[in-house]
Chain A
Amino acid sequence: MKSGQAPTSHTDLELAQWALERARARGASAAEVLTLTAEALSAGVRLGEVEKLKSSRERRIGLRVFTGSSSACASTAELSSDGLERFIEETIALARVTARDPWSGLPAPELHPREVPELNLEDTTHRVIGAEGALDMARRAEQAALSSDPSITNSEGAEFSSGWHRLTFVNSQGFSAAYNATSYSLVVTPIAQAGGSMQRDYWYSAARRYELLKAPEEVGLIAGRRARRRLGARKIPTRRAPIIFDSETAGSLLGAVTAAACGHALYTGASFLKDRLGTRIAAPSVDLIDDPTIVGALGSKPFDGEGAASRRKTLIAQGELKSYLLDSYSARKLGLASTGNASRGIGSPPSAAPTNLYLEPGPQSPEEIIRSVKSGLLVTEMIGFGINLVTGDYSRGAAGFWIEDGELAYPVEEITIAGNLAQMMRDVEMIGNDLEWRSSVASPTIKIAEMTIAGA
């Protein structure tokens, strides 16, 4: 391919290979190129009327170049050949002012998969759903929420979105691969009102295949129930008590622990899990897994953000920290092997992140776990960002239900729950049997022996 040809008319793979060749010709000792082409449509209704319709098309190119052990990343949507030539030149210039970093570089060639697995991430039948179909899904979900209970008198609406994208990846050590993916999501946010109190809640469904979405009627009904059951919430006195995280809020807990197990936090010393590999960090019932290879799942990737092979790994086995999540840079820096968890925007440096993260389910049902509590709190919503990954200190806003003698007694709000993540993981007392994939993080219900509740 000649450099003078207008790259915009090329396929994504041709465009990526052209940019790779130009980067090498301009002096890059190694390089990676990613292209992303995407289309999406989302539709929102509120109180039965169309509220918004949004449609998009995008095409971008991302580049990481090395000049010896210095590197720089960049992305652009200016895809004319002059624009791209300038872009490549500027990226190489940026790499040249960047420090020589002995740990930098492409992943070892043997990390690239010999064969890229087919993970069925694309729904070729439905691709992007048109405006009418999208509005219909949103309308049905909102209607189900509005008619679920007389207290549901208002709504922030319902939204259905679908999107398709193609990611193409090539690098200068000969790895070249691409995959397509689709995603569908439906969310509805009803508002319940009674006696001067107003509460909103939401429910959702998301999937890579249209048929795997929950029925809009079911999503709406659950959202309506969730908003209604919060009415009349009160503040409770400050005390220590057992805490149950429902399967939604438990996922955020796993996310926080996993963030502390990612490469960048570890090598900068910004993690309470630094130097804990091979030690007991959680109750023996805790088995935490990251698996990018689950067919058709929301967090699945046939290869990671630097083209390393995706593989399943156990982070915590019977309470023992077995693996960190690493990209090739953090792995080299920590003297470990990459776990194939490089994640990146197409124009930003890779860093490690979870893919599909889940906690192995335990034996009890959520109801049995609630019944095990004499006085305690079931947490169903959390707000705020009060997690310090350096120390593990944890303090977040919460709402949920007070439990008396194993029964939900009344809704609770305007409280915080506080503890330390390291202690909380050791204090996991029960794990539910209710593992369900609704997003790329899935957790059953989790009971923690005791935390501090701050309230009145």
Chain B
Amino acid sequence: MANELIQPDKFFLTRFGLNERAFERVLDTALERRADYADIYFEWRSNESINLEDSMVNRTAKSVSQGCGVRVCAEERTGYAYTDEITVDRMRLAAQTARTIADRAAGGREPVAVGQSVARHDLYALATLPLEVPAVQKVSLLEQIDRAARAYDPRIKNVMASVMTETKVVLIAAGDGKLAADVQPLCRLNVSVIAEENGNRQMGFFGGGGRLEYDYFLAGERWREFVREAARQAVVNLEAVAAPAGEMVVVLGPGWPGILLHEAVGHGLEGDFNRKGASAFSGRIGEQVASPLCTVIDDGTLPNRRGSLNVDDEGTPTSRTVLIERGILRGYLQDRLNARLMKLPLTGNGRRESFAHMPMPRMTNTFMLAGDSAPEEIIRSVKRGIYAASFGGGQVDITSGKFVFSANEAYLIEDGQLTRPIKGATLIGNGPQVLRRVSMVGSDLKLDAGIGTCGKDGQSVPVGVGLPTIRIDAITVGGTHA
């Protein structure tokens, strides 16, 4: 089924026997006392996961969730109530609960008139939704992946692979009468392998996807790249020696190492932390926070990317926001509440994990623009340091600005050459400082393959990152070799 056939504007109306008058009744209930804003968020989500281990596709699971949440905002206060039983009675009850944060009587408000549709982007119209592709085809792909990975190298002893597909339909009806709706497909293929030699076991991983057709994995046998990368990483790590410890030059490879930007600056530029003065970047718009080589963008409008959305979860169309321009801090990422309180424009970054959560400012796809150094030249410039090609997760303490991210494929650089692979190590730095130490930016900007999931305040949302090869003159590498 193509996603336009779902007709997100009609989806909830037909499915739950609702109409726009019902939305108005609920929103009028929500806005009965003095409030700045109210909305109803409807969500229906279906997903499927198909997993292979020990050469068998033996774990399959699917889930359907649905529900709606009513939100009322008054000044800095938010009331939110949700239910997974979508009926007008339940929604009005939710509205009554949500409005308890508004304590003053409203004066002479016009009744809500719902109907005006928000213009949305069209970033992921698909002829066939990945969730609709029969499971049996995914099973056969995973079996091929298992055989290909084991054939890559006799040291590959186990293969774990999975295909995850999802369709999410959302509708946001707001107190200003605006309606926004969207169908959001998502798919992802993960391959993990274990290589073993003389009792030394190492894992390799590669994954990717996006708001894409399932055929993306099959086109030109792209899945083989996933297999090769995972297997290559595991085999490389069999040779890894202890990582060095201490401050040193670090070169980050292109693509997924962009997680640096996500942790070091992205979270610190989310509107909520800055409004509260709780971020290491608070009050620093216009200041130099990075080397002039660095321009950092958050862009929710890239077609088919995992972090992209036609509209955010408050019905605002996503946009391209310049966070840092040639080293100068330019902008924050906003949801409605924080944009209103900070008197700054909406950026389309109000996101939530599901109807069971309140929206917050979140990143979409966060990346650095390309510079003009050749990647080889950047590596050649380093006498002694490390080159990090791939990372696992990262985390940041917004207030102190300290952030970490952990390499899972890295090499020593000695006299301008990549020499030995080193064991995984965590890198730790300070957000407002680290980008000042960027002395070279490569011409090879690459976006990640589509595996990022960002966690904040207990909520997970899909995101993307991107980076050209960059040189950081000093950052602490947490190896064991002091």
Q: Please list the residues of chain A having a beta carbon within 8 angstroms of any beta carbon in chain B.
A: 46, 49-60, 70-78, 87, 90-91, 93-95, 97-99, 101, 104, 131, 154, 156, 191, 198-200, 230, 233, 235, 238-240, 267-270, 274, 347-349, 383-386, 388, 390-391, 393, 395-397, 399, 413-420, 451-456
Contacts and interface: CB of A to CB of B under 8 A. Distances in A.
Interface string B451-482: 00000000000000000000000001111111
Interface in B23-63: 48, 53-54, 56-63
Given A91-B62, A347-B61, A390-B194, A97 B136 contact: yes
Going nearest first, the 6 A-B pairs with the smallest beta carbon separation are A416-B478, A384-B404, A397-B404, A238-B246, A386-B426, A454-B245
A267 B56 CA distance: 13
A369 B77 CA distance: 46
A135 B433 CA distance: 38
Given A75-B64, A268-B54, A384-B394, A418 B480 contact: yes
B400 A199 contact: yes
Interface stretch (B80-88, B180-188, B305-313): B80-88
B1 to A, nearest CB: 15
A418 B61 contact: no
* Chain A interface mostly: strand
B395 interface: yes
30 contacts: A53-B78, A53-B97, A55-B81, A58-B83, A58-B356, A77-B64, A98-B60, A131-B100, A199-B400, A200-B397, A200-B400, A269-B194, A347-B63, A349-B61, A384-B405, A386-B404, A386-B424, A386-B426, A388-B423, A390-B203, A391-B201, A399-B400, A414-B476, A415-B428, A415-B476, A416-B478, A452-B245, A454-B428, A454-B477, A454-B482
Interface in B75-107: 76-85, 90, 94, 97-98, 100-101
Nearest to B400: A199
Contact of A395 (B246, B402, B424): B424
A54 B404 contact: no
Given A50-B77, A53-B100, A200-B400, A418 B245 contact: yes
B399 A200 contact: yes
B331 interface: no
B194 A268 contact: yes
B203 A418 contact: no
B61 to A, nearest CB: 4
A395 B425 contact: yes
Nearest to B247: A456
A77 B85 CA distance: 8
B231 interface: no
Interface string B398-433: 111011111010000000000000011111111000
Interface string B131-161: 0000110010000000000000000011010
Interface footprint category on B: 35 or more
B426 A50 contact: no
Contacts of B62: 72-74, 90-91, 94, 347
B321 interface: no
A413 B402 contact: yes
Interface stretch (B273-281, B286-294, B374-382): B273-281
A56 B426 contact: no
A54 B62 CA distance: 28
Given A77-B66, A419-B480, A269 B84 contact: no
Given A53-B100, A76-B63, A76-B64, A396 B426 contact: yes
A87 B64 contact: yes
B65 interface: yes
A269 B278 contact: no
B482 A385 contact: no
Contacts of A76: 63-65
Contacts of A73: 59-62
Contacts of B476: 235, 238, 414-416, 454-456
Interface string B99-143: 011000000000000000000000000000000000110010000
A77 B84 contact: yes
A422 B98 CA distance: 50
B406 A414 contact: no
B393 interface: yes
A99 B61 contact: no
B80 A52 contact: yes
Given A269-B196, A395-B406, A414 B428 contact: yes
A55 B85 contact: no
Contacts of B100: 53, 131
A198 B393 contact: no
Nearest to A267: B54
B395 A97 contact: no
Given A270-B203, A397-B426, A75 B480 contact: no
Interface in B353-409: 356, 358, 392-400, 402-406, 408
Contact of A238 (B136, B404, B482): B482
B67 interface: yes
Given A50-B101, A397-B395, A414-B430, A99 B57 contact: yes
Contact of B280 (A53, A98, A198, A393): A198
A98 B478 contact: no
A269 B54 CA distance: 10
B243 interface: yes
B334 interface: no
B480 to A, nearest CB: 5
B72 to A, nearest CB: 9
A72 B61 contact: yes
B202 interface: yes
B60 A393 contact: no
B426 A269 contact: no
Contacts of B79: 52-54
Contacts of B54: 267-268
